[in-house]
Structure 1
Amino acid sequence: MIRFERKNMVLAAAAAGLIVVGGVAGLALARFGSGGASPVAAAAGEREVLYWYDPMTPGQRFDKPGKSPFMDMQLVPRYADEESGAAAGVRIDPALVQNLGVRFATVRSGTLEGDLTASAVVDYNERDVAVVQARAGGFVQRVYARAPGDVIAAGAPLADLLVPDWGGAQIEYLAVRRTDDAALIGAARQRLVLLGMPESLIAAVERSGRPRTTVTIVSPISGAIRTLGVRAGMSVPAGLTLAEINGLSTVWLNAAVPEALAGQLRVGRSVDVTLAAFPGERMTGRLTALLPEVTGDSRTLTARVELRNPGGRLRPGMFGQITFGGSSTPALLVPSEAVIRTGQRNLVMLAGEGGRYQPAEVRVGREAGGQTEILAGLRDGERVVASGQFLFDSEASLSGVTARSLEQARAQSGSESAAPTPARVPASTPAPAYRASGRVQSLQGRSITLAHGPVPALQWPAMTMTFVVADAVPLGGVSVGDQVDFGFDMVGGKATIRSLTRREADQ
């Protein structure tokens, strides 16, 4: 029995030793087969990494992993097998698109209406204002129950003013009149005028032969009292403003016109006006001014229209609508809501096949009736996202998907412009506006990343950034690491290289 147990212990120890040896041998074989790397690392190593990028700033590319210089996060690799997918756009689950209720629109050729409408508010005509002042110091003896907002006629009394200083001058004038000396009489009468007496008061003194030191202040025009600063019993110095009267024979309509459409307006043109207070009635006014200041919050320009106001029916504060007539023109159109305006460039989200979406840069023109004119960047028949496009654009940015540039769109369409009005596109390419030198960091199609020096004209420091290379600029012979001189323009908020010259090694 003891021998049997001892034999079992020996067999168990031998088996354990074989397991250990087998494990070591298996680990050695695994390391030998994988070149010293773990299976996970080997699987990962099979995918070629093109570059690393920060998802928050996908336009900047890096040649090695690490932390992002922009955000406190690790850089994300872009693999070679993902590059074709990135070029085709980001893929969104069709079920999610349906749940979001996303709407699509087709780019089409159509007619853009020339009429431009804008909301307007009736206001006083600030050019038709009369200021009533005291011509001499005195005391207010009587007021005529006026108040701001009252509509009065021309010649309506406002207040009776007692001016003691006028009494002595009027007595002297009456005495001189009895001398029959024309020169003295003329000089004495001129003195009364210089003291501020109105012609009507001097004539009354001449007719009655008695001095009159009380004068009635009247309104010189008909209109509404804007301000009234006179009360019974108060003393007034010479030059004090007693009232301001605003005429109502004409009024202004101030319309808020979008900044992008202000270039279509011309001062002096006739406009059609409709007011909510008088439905069905159309009036005609004249555009008299485009105010020089743009409202910062709404980015609108104020257009001022002058309108006749017979009978005083139009009251300041009324709402109306102004229609600026214009000619209709053919254009390539998309819904205005489909355009993403970033401030530096305009984008739309292209809907491709297989549930893929890609941002595309566009150049926009006029806008009317909820439609926007596309001057470049799209072709007739392409589908764009009309609602929820900001979600698609955010997903494309996080995935590092680059937008289709205007040059790429022209290359795909085989024409210089996607719009049916090619006269808007210049026939010749102007000289580059900015010049700099740099070293090529990477080349991706018609995009080139350069580590360039400062650009004083744009107040740019030395930095590394990606440029779009125009189709007319050859890239043959240029490779990563070359030192180049280049000229570029800012097109749609994007730096576009117009000339590129490789420096020789001895330079």
Structure 2
Amino acid sequence: MTKKKKLILALSAAAILIAVGGGLFWAGMQHGLHAAMPTITGSGASTSGDKVDPATGRKVLYWHDPMVPGQKFDKPGKSPFMDMQLVPVYADESGDDGKVAISPRVQQNLGIRTAEVKEGSLTTTLESVGSVAWNERDLFLVQARANGYVERLHVRAPLDRVRKGQALADIYVPDWVAAQEDYLAARRMSADLADAARQRMRLAGMTGEQIRQIEKSGKVHPRLTITSPVSGVVAELAVREGMTVMPGASLYRINGLSTVWVNAEIPEAAAAQVHPGSTVQARAAAWPGMTFHGKVGAILPEIDPATRTLKARIELANPEGRLVPGMFATVSLTPAARKAILLVPSEAVIQTGTRSVVFVASEDGKFAPVEVETGSEANGQTEIHSGLSAGQKVVASGQFLVDSEASLKGVIARMGDAGAANGAKAAAAPAHHGRGRVEKIDPDSITLSHEAMPTLQWGPMTMPFKLPPDGLPRNIAVGNQVTFEIRQTPEGDYQITSITPADKQTGSGDGK
């Protein structure tokens, strides 16, 4: 064999070896990638129900990412959506018993925490502001009891402070002079005439004290000294020196200051928390560091249409008359004690818009959604009027995982009218738009190779979607480039809500 032939044979053998090695390398890479990346399956695709978890010996239905519960995978691996391992869903976790089970390891990793349902009452304090006003129940009027003339005023200006028994004015009363003279003359004549004359002095308007002064002194007192019936402030002065007064004429209006009113603004939403008799503490900027105590006297039956507030009339003790009308005061109202009621952490209550739901932890480690009727909320606690009993455990943190599992298994939908609940949730689900190629059309699903969808934080992938409620348009066929819109269903799957061709390749779909 010549050297030339030997060289050709050597080169041919090297080329064969390189081709075989490259093929083996490519096959190995493909096998490794296929093993590393789990296959995405749709809601209608078959799942690995015959898989058994070697760690627990339990049958595995499928694997999924708890953060994207609508996507199911037929083998374990790393989630394509999040930096975490896929979680198995076991056959005994199907939720047919109205409960959902979650692996203890997943519960620990995601920080699921429970809290006990306890009996108690919410102690809330309502803060409000108001203005100080006269206590109208401490109002006193000083009137003239007979015709006369004002000779002297001892208190001459409004808003002067007066003491109980302090002289206010001297009035000369001519009618009293004649009555007193008749009494003194009759007393010298006989007791019967004296009694009749004493009665005439009473009819003239003299008080019992004034009559006793006449009897004791035996002299005529033509002037009447009017005194203050209470300690307070002269709110109104209606008389001047030299004026003629008649019986019933108002001379002074005096308000006591031992107590005052504070008219506080109570929001309409908090009106049920305030009742007459509720204790109150008040503070005024004029007296820093001082606290005034009182109680709610009445809730005025009128709402301010501009501020939507009620007025609470609060009666405060006013030592030394420090609070005066017109001052502003900040009041703290403590509602009357209510009977004990069930309380749960407010974070445990999931508001769906139409109802309130909590997840109750059972002794077998599962979670069941329970619809509850809630009441007031304060200090991180919420009242429960129905649906729970004392001693039960409710999920207080990590509800998003339990809720996603329950939605995936249809547990939430089975709590009430499934159709109404599903319709409400579907209407509330946000829409996501994408672009891709039709790979396969099945009776109940369509498989698309779509581009990245930023609103869902999805990368490019091939996955099935549920068909639109009205079916596919006639011009959609395998191989078409399409633009589409999807929404998440209450079960966690994604459904096409609209799909249209993105190119002119519609001929293959005309006969569909």
| Shorter-normalised TM range | 0.3 to 0.5
Q: Which is higher, the Rg of structure 1 or of structure 2?
A: 2
